[in-house]
Amino acid sequence: MKTVGVLVVSFKGRRHDPDEFYELVRSADFQIKFSCSAAVDKPDVRTYVRSGKLQELKDLIALNSLSLLIINRDISSSQHRNIQRQLCCQIIDRTGLILNIFAQRARSFEGRVQVELAQLDYLKSKLTREWTHLERQRGGLGLRGPGETQLETDRRLLGLRIKQLTGRLKKIKLRRSLAGGLRKKKGLPTVALVGYTNAGKSTLFNALTQSEVEAKDLMFATLDPTIRAMEIGIDKRVLLADTVGFIENLPPTLIEAFAATLEETTKSQLILHVVDIADPELYERINEVDKILKMIGADNVPTIMVYNKIDLLAKGAIKINSLALDKTVRVEVSATTKEGIKALKKAIVKNLYGAKNRITVRLRATGGKLRSVFYERGVVLNESVGTNGDIVLTLEVDRFDKQLMLKYKDIYDLVPTDELSSYENFDVGNIGLKN
């Protein structure tokens, strides 16, 4: 385990959480030898902190014989260069630290590609004329073009690699899209677990699916998305996706690089927003996750708030202020003790499927495929032939079936309710089906 020094910069009058930063450092497998704090009104343009603080850091680094300092803020390439020159040691800022953790955690091909792309985007922003170049070039290799400086060569090499990785990610995205389409055809809705890092998503995932996904008390313990089938009732199964944890001010390069993975969230039928109920920064964490969900276009996906780790609360403690959040569905659970898991599954069933309704549809000539879908879903109550030889089906459908039917809305007609008085309570307009 490498020993490091850390610099914690805070802005006067603004909230900051040094404990989260320390946890990030430990999650990257670093041991903190010393921590130095600096409160500033605004960052110094050249070195982020003033010269007096730099001298203090230089003395501490020399005293402890360290070669690495980690800063809790993101710094510019020029600030990075100036600080490194004055302190005579390697510097890692906040984004660099998070990328370091992601690189350690990535196991799948997809995860490694996404992390490398984010790292290269980050490195590209740090390239300066004093950059130690990417590949040591010895004469005659032919990598450098006519009149090309080392900096230009490095930028070109980075650009080529970024282009290559972007192409691979497009293929990954296409593969995920095809897999999602197949799951939808089979009538399996997807439920995505999201939440602040270390909220207990992986432990909850294991409790819901009887799986053994690795769950550690570390930030970003889960990086590669995992999907498993989950039984939520008699003849009812859904796919549960465990996704990467979020964090305050998640670097944009990571959000962009992990777009293919985050798509599991945006295309899901339901989100389980997992919250550590024992976290003193509870509401700030919720707001950060909501901001990222909005950023990736998942803020309109139906959501259940899952308040996890109730076993860590003191007996008799108030669990949650129900008036503090504008969320209608809330479930309190302990993924460790399994308390509340049954209630959560019931909430998932109710949210995904709702009450069942009977409808009658008339299939058009091209409706053979849809007829097969209805039978695969087990929703057909009766089949008859209409006066024009078309197929008429009586169905018992739930909310998920209705959403599925929207995909095929051009190959069937809903039999008007005035012809079927017994079904007059079925509100066609609310689900967007054709009259």
- Sketch out the chain's domains with CATH numbers: 2-92 (3.40.50.11060), 186-353 (3.40.50.300), 357-431 (3.30.70)
Model pTM?
A: 0.72
Query: CA 286 to CA 305: how far, in whole Å?
Result: 10
Distance from the Cα of residue 15 to its chain's centroid: 24
pLDDT computed for residue 350 by the predictor: 86
Q: Tell me the three state secondary structure of residue 4.
A: strand
* Orientation of helix 150-185 relative to helix 259-266, angle to 10°: 30
Q: Which of 2-6, 208-212, 409-413, 423-427 has the lowest mean pLDDT?
A: 423-427
Name the residue with higher pLDDT: 17 or 99.
99
- Across the strands, what pairs with 387? none
Residue 288 buriedness (CB in 10 A; 0-12 / 13-18 / 19+): middle
The one-letter code for the residue type at 87 is L
Q: Which of 2-11, 171-180, 372-381 has the lowest mean pLDDT?
A: 171-180
- Across the strands, what pairs with 80? none
Q: Name residues whose C-beta falls within 8 Å of residue 371's C-beta, 6 or more positions apart in sequence.
A: 363, 391, 393
**Tokens read off for 4:** 């490091």
pLDDT computed for residue 362 by the predictor: 83
Q: Name residues whose C-beta falls within 8 Å of residue 174's C-beta, 6 or more positions apart in sequence.
A: none
Q: How confident is the model at residue 397 (pLDDT cuts 50, 70, 90)?
A: confident
pLDDT computed for residue 392 by the predictor: 85
Percent of the chain with pLDDT over 90: 32
The number of residues making up the chain comes to 435
Q: How confident is the model at residue 224 (pLDDT cuts 50, 70, 90)?
A: low
pLDDT computed for residue 92 by the predictor: 94
Q: ∠26-28-30 over CA atoms, to 5°?
A: 55
Residue with tokens 């010895």: 138
Nearest partner of 284 among 8, 74, 16, judged by Cα: 16
Report yes or no: 380 and 395 within 8 Å, Cβ to Cβ: yes
